[in-house]
Amino acid sequence: MRKSNFWGLLFVLPFIIGTAVFFVFPVLFSGYISFTDWDMFNPPKFVGLKNWINSFKDPAFWISFRNVLYFAAIFVPLQTIFALVIANMLNQKIKFKGGFRACYFLPNVTPWVAGAIVWKFLYGYDYGLINYILRSLGFEGSYWYDSDKWWVAIGSLALMNVWKGMGQTMVILLSAMQSVPKEIVEAATTEGAGKAAIFRKITVPMISPMVFLTMILSTISAFTAFDVFLTMFDVYSLPDRNNVVNLMVYREAFIYGKMGPASTLAWMLFIIILIITVIQRKFEKKWVHYEN
């Protein structure tokens, strides 16, 4: 082995070990566990495809998967649009720009537990602020996160997630906007283009790789969202109609101690996310513009 190779390998060794121990092994191990019954106390018992067949046939899984899809369908576009609009506003010459940026980023660093207390107050049926406003305007109050209509309950949580995650996406898009060459914008302005046209025809196409990246990240974060559900729902009394796959995994693994079905559900979710990500990449060429 050449000396330079040796030192190179030595320097990347901690990363390789970390990846092997904390990524490769758990992923492969959970794959193995998905074919077993394992209660974490006794040795795993191989059960073949039982967990996979049971999960596939379980209506609760498909309901929770529908909920995740719906959650992502609301969360991803809303977060991207809001982040894009706010980033564009903060990219203008306005006063207190730093203060506004900090305000929009603040939810991102707020712990979910604290955020959930505020949102439970906002969403409360009897004493919640939203229902108070609705009733003041002559409307009926509504149940939100605790609604028996799944699309209202999951939609309420998707909005919360937008509030929490928008700041980070906004920062990424803002930095992309700041790298748009000023000359192009100035040339367009000289040619008589308005702000809306510049945003639509210059800014958005030029930052489209970043928009694409944030959409991929948002999609993954929507499918792996956990804290928002754990803090807002009570896992011990959550009806199937409002459940999501990650809470099912958590419940199976850490409340029931059934690691086999939990690993199966996690792998099924992994496969689904993989398919969706591949589809997203397929459509990438249609609207993402790379410089080269």
Partner 1 sequence: MKKRLVSALVMTGAAIMLMGGCGSSKGQDSKATGDKSAADSGVEQKSEKKSSKAVTLRIGLPGGYDVTNKEIIEGFQNEYPDIKLDIDEAPWGDFTKKITTQIAGGTAPDIWFQENAAVLGYGDKGAAEDLMPYIERDLNEDEFASTLFSAQVGESVWGVPHGGNPIALAYNKDLFDEAGVSYPTDDWTYEDMIEAAKKLTKDTDGDGKTDVYGLITSGGITDGWFPWIHSAGGQALDETKENAVFDDEKSLKGITEWANTVNTYKISPARSTFNELGGTHQVFGNGMGAMVFLQYSLGNTVLNTNFPDLNYDTVKMPKAFDGEERIVPNVNNTWMIFSKAKEENKEAAWTFLKYYLSPEVQKIVADSGSTIPVNKEALTYMENLQFKPLNKKAYTEGVDESGVTLDENKCWNEWRTAAQPVFNDIMDGKTDPESGLKQIKKSVQEVLDENYEK
Q: H/E/C letters for each residue in 193-258?
A: CCHHHHHHHHHHHHCHHHHHHHHHHHHHHHHCCCHHHHHHCCCCCCCHHHCCHHHHHHHHHHHCCC
Among 195, 201, 281, 289, binds partner 1 (CB under 8 A): 281
Amino acid at 244: V
Provide the minimum distance between the beta carbon of 180 and partner 1 in the complex, in angstroms, as a whole number: 25
Binding mask 74-113 for partner 1 (x = CB under 8 A): ----------------------------------------
Among 55, 67, 116, 124, binds partner 1 (CB under 8 A): 124
Q: Within 13 Å of residue 203, how many CA atoms lie on the same side as its CB?
A: 24
Closest residue by Cα to residue 199 from 190, 210, 189, 191: 189
| Helices 59-90/97-109 angle, 10° precision | 160
**What distance in Å separates the CA atoms of residue 135 and residue 132, rounded to the nearest whole number?**
5
Q: Is the dihedral of CA 72, 225, 257, 28 positive or negative?
A: positive
Which stretch, 98-106, 126-134, 153-161, 172-180, contacts partner 1 (CB under 8 A)? 126-134
53 binds partner 1 (CB under 8 A): no
Q: Which is closer to partner 1, CB of 39 or CB of 186?
A: 39
Tell me which residues in 226-265 interact with partner 1 (CB under 8 A).
226, 235-240, 246, 249, 251, 253-257, 259, 263
Q: Which residues bind partner 1 (CB under 8 A)?
A: 22-23, 26-27, 29-30, 33, 39-44, 120, 124-128, 143, 146, 148, 216, 220, 223-224, 226, 235-240, 246, 249, 251, 253-257, 259, 263, 266-267, 269-270, 273-274, 277-278, 281
